[in-house]
Amino acid sequence: MQLIYEQSVAGRRGVKLPVSDVPAAPALPGSLLRKEKAALAEVSELDLVRHFTNLSRRNFSVDTNFYPLGSCTMKYNAKVLENAATLFAPFHPMTALLPGGVEFCQGTLGMLYDLGQLLADITGMDEVTTQPLAGAHGEMTGIMLIAAYHEAKGNKAKKKYVVVPDSSHGTNPASAAIAGYEIITVPTASYGDMDLELFKAAMTDEVAAVMMTCPNTLGLFNPHIKEISDIAHSHDALMYYDGANLNAIMGKVKPGDVGFDVIHVNLHKTFGTPHGGGGPGSGPVGVKKTLIPFLPQPRIVMDDDGKLLLETDNKGTIGRTANFFGNFGVMAKAYAYIIMLGREGLIQVSEQAVLNANYIKERLKAYYDLPYDMTCMHECVFSASKQLEHGVHAIDIAKFLIDKGYHPPTVYFPMIVKEAIMIEPTETESKATMDAFIEVMIEAARTAESNPQALHDAPLTMPISRLDETKAAREQNVCCAW
């Protein structure tokens, strides 16, 4: 397909701008002006509409294809949530920051406050900040809160390390590094989670925090989680909960009850907001009481009369992690999702997410190696090691699935599983959809034995075949020349 710039014709316009009703201002000095106008596309509205409509048709998406991408919780995104978010489009965030401005923003501030309360209950935390803009941003905020906690106790110099399991998301160590910590990685044991003995050996008073995903990236709930948390606390290390996998446990277990001190929640995973082709997400952070003094500013608080105010002068705060109040539009969708599903609905979400993952696990385990064969939570992780004997890799199976109309599961993550295939169906998929997917996965396993070349050649039905990634990295052509 042509690039939009390749369709550009000088003088063509895509939208009519308002005609000026004021006199033209005197020209700015030439030294401040650009020599040439920015070479943006010049296309008609119809050209533009066709271009982006046709581009969109080159995507798989939840609305068009089953998308069992493990760790990403690609559930159906209810349409009413989109409508709800647009209700807030006209509200300027600066209004709330003007003197007395909160009076004019009680609806939006109230919704953020209520969302915080709901998330606090779901996660077992005492207060939630809605400022972080994505999961990794929440992680960074959370680890900074932990750093502030240790600093307030005079232990900043002593606390040097953050402990993570080797199955963790890459964002965990990357976020801890921004907060100035060194990383200790603990290997996974045969029972599919951080090795308890190695963990004990790694724990010293120099550890600031332990970052866990629970259920972890293998989709397994760690039975030792309470013990881990007790050990961490005995060293005055705080427990960080990566909420990426919260979809499995709503109403079943609260991270706060298990001993976690800080949690981020990915609203774009568990709470039904769309992923947008990579974002926007939203990563509210929940904390226990001891960490409230360090929360980002402005902090939304409620006075005795139920009026929402902004706290902006707290001396202990880590500061600001984003310009305003977070990705409000995303939070409006998540809030609508929570109030619509309600208590029983959320419990049902987790139950059926877990049911669906176990169903796929059981039906595929005769065909694919299942390195940790036990009851899983919301996702299951296979290995293509059997297929590798025929020279077929996880990526080949992924590409075969594309030809059959399925977005592939996550492959090669977690890194601790060789040739990993991580499947997360989510609760919104029907049995019929999963059965059809399972049949195709079985077909892939059979084809790996009978005709591995067919898998190496896939995909054949897409607008393009497999791409030369080495060429892309070598040439670094990231912008169309002008």
Partner 1 sequence: MNDSHYCPHTPEEIQEMLSTIGVASVEELFAPIPTELRAKTFNIPPGMSEFETYSRMQAIAGENSQGMTNFIGGGFYDHIIPSVVDHLSGRAEFYTAYTPYQPECSQGTLQALFEYQTAICRLTGLDVSNASLYDGGTACAEAAMMALRVTGRNKIVVDGCVSPFSRQVLKTYLFNLDVEVIEIPPLDGLLNREELAAVLDDSVAAVLVQNPNFFGSIEDFTALADQVHGTGALLIGSVYPIALGILKSPGEIGIDIAVGDGQSLGNPLSFGGPSFGFIAAKKSLIRNMPGRIVGETVDRNGKRGYVLTLQAREQHIKRHKATSNICSNQGLCALRGLIFLSSVGKEGLAELARLNRDKAEYAKALLTKIPGVTVLLSAVTFNEFTISMPKNADGVVLGLLEKGIAAGVPLGQYYEGSENCMVVTVTEKRTKKEIDLFAKELEVALCS
Site for partner 1 in 221-240 (CB under 8 A): 221, 223, 225-226
Q: Per CB under 8 A, does 101 bind partner 1?
A: yes
With CB under 8 A as the rule, give the number of residues binding partner 1: 210
CB nearer partner 1, residue 313 or residue 449: 313
Contact 104, 307 (CB under 8 A): no
Backbone angles phi, psi at 115, to 5 degrees: -60, -40
Contact 281, 294 (CB under 8 A): no
Contacts of 303 (CB under 8 A, 6+ apart): 309
How is the beta sheet containing 420-423 ordered, strand by strand?
A: 380-383, 420-423, 410-411
Q: Per CB under 8 A, does 296 bind partner 1?
A: yes
Which residue in the set 218, 249, 392, 455 belongs to the binding site for partner 1 (CB under 8 A)?
249
Contact 272, 149 (CB under 8 A): no
CB nearer partner 1, residue 42 or residue 236: 42
> Shortest gap between Cβ of 383 and partner 1 (angstroms)?
19
First to last CA, the chain: 18
Site for partner 1 in 357-416 (CB under 8 A): 358-359, 362-363, 374-375, 377, 398-399, 402, 407-408, 410, 413
Contact 73, 426 (CB under 8 A): yes
Q: Which stretch binds partner 1 (CB under 8 A): 166-174, 199-207, 285-293, 383-391?
A: 166-174
Which residue type, as a one-letter code, is found at position 67? Y
Site for partner 1 in 307-366 (CB under 8 A): 318-330, 332, 335-336, 338-349, 351-352, 354-356, 358-359, 362-363
Q: Per CB under 8 A, does 167 bind partner 1?
A: no
Element holding 162 (H helix, E strand): strand 161-165
Site for partner 1 in 8-37 (CB under 8 A): 8, 11-15, 17-18, 20-26, 28-29, 31-35, 37
Q: Per CB under 8 A, does 437 bind partner 1?
A: no
> Shortest gap between Cβ of 201 and partner 1 (angstroms)?
20
What span, in angstroms and rounded, lies between the C-alpha atoms of 402 and 444?
11
> Is 51 exposed, middle or buried, given 0-12, 13-18 or 19+ CB atoms closer than 10 A?
middle
Which residue type, as a one-letter code, is found at position 450? S
CB nearer partner 1, residue 220 or residue 445: 220
> Shortest gap between Cβ of 262 and partner 1 (angstroms)?
15
Which residue in the set 43, 263, 445, 448 belongs to the binding site for partner 1 (CB under 8 A)?
43
Q: Per CB under 8 A, does 200 bind partner 1?
A: no
Which residue in the set 127, 380, 429, 448 belongs to the binding site for partner 1 (CB under 8 A)?
429
Element holding 199 (H helix, E strand): helix 196-202
